[in-house]
Chains A and B, each alone.
Chain A
């Protein structure tokens, strides 16, 4: 029964072309280790340098977005200034392209602004994304954003196709947010 249950999860991941997945509490240390493993794997498979760099860049921005903005967090007490954010990250291959999908819980009140930013980015072509990046590089950070705008632009810039995103209601009255990027 145990093997059967987990083989279903494994088969589902395989069917989606997912070669790399993590779900649970993330820290910067985990980001670093997973990132190193990801680069090593791509190097062993002789993926070209520019692709490895683009995948890594999207991976870091996506992971740091989860760490900063996930609404599912564990915080240590006063003695231990630790904060762990929950989320999931999957990386796979689809029609010869690498894709990264990240998911995490967000607060309902943050959904409209996030949706607005992503829709805006989706509507931009390569040149417009570049111009927007240059503008944001010189802007002071938006209040309460901790730099998400430029992080999302960086993600859109490294993508070879328009970014795809979705929201779904989660139990606990919050929202599950998902972002798919093809490189």
Chain B
């Protein structure tokens, strides 16, 4: 399946889902005016990928430095999709990156990981990558 690449804009993140290698990454900031329009194609591509019989291990790199509350719900949706395939036996890891002084993002990582049992969830403190707004 082709990879999904979406370039960052001022209000939406850089999305790089390399389905062949199983490495999925979101980087930057997410507070689009219309969350459904932005995340819709991401959900569809991910759903199609997860429905394939492929058992390649998946790693999701959550490298957002900021997301608004409606993006939070969309992100949770993605995590729930990943948890479902992990329950089905697929190897899935989520790495949650946050800046070392960002207590809010660290705490959000704890909120998101709460119900994830089959997914291997890891919190990683490190300075953020800068994405240039498009």
Contacts and interface: CB of A to CB of B under 8 A. Distances in A.
A56 interface: yes
Contact of B10 (A32, A150, A158): A32
- A49, A56, A137, A138 pick with most chain B CB within 10 angstroms: A137
Contact of A28 (B11, B72, B104): B11
B69 A61 contact: yes
Prevailing SS type, chain A contact patch: helix
Given A50-B102, A137-B112, A158-B104, A150 B33 contact: no
Contact of A60 (B68, B80, B114, B115): B68
B111 A60 contact: no
A150 B99 contact: no
Contacts of A53: 66, 102, 104-105
Given A150-B73, A158-B104, 9 more contacts: A49-B101, A57-B68, A64-B68, A130-B107, A134-B111, A134-B114, A137-B73, A137-B111, A138-B115
Interface of A: 28, 32, 36, 48-50, 53-54, 56-57, 60-61, 64, 67, 130, 133-134, 137-138, 141, 146-147, 150-151, 153-154, 158
Interface of B: 10-11, 31, 33, 35, 66, 68-70, 72-73, 76, 80, 99, 101-105, 107, 111-112, 114-115
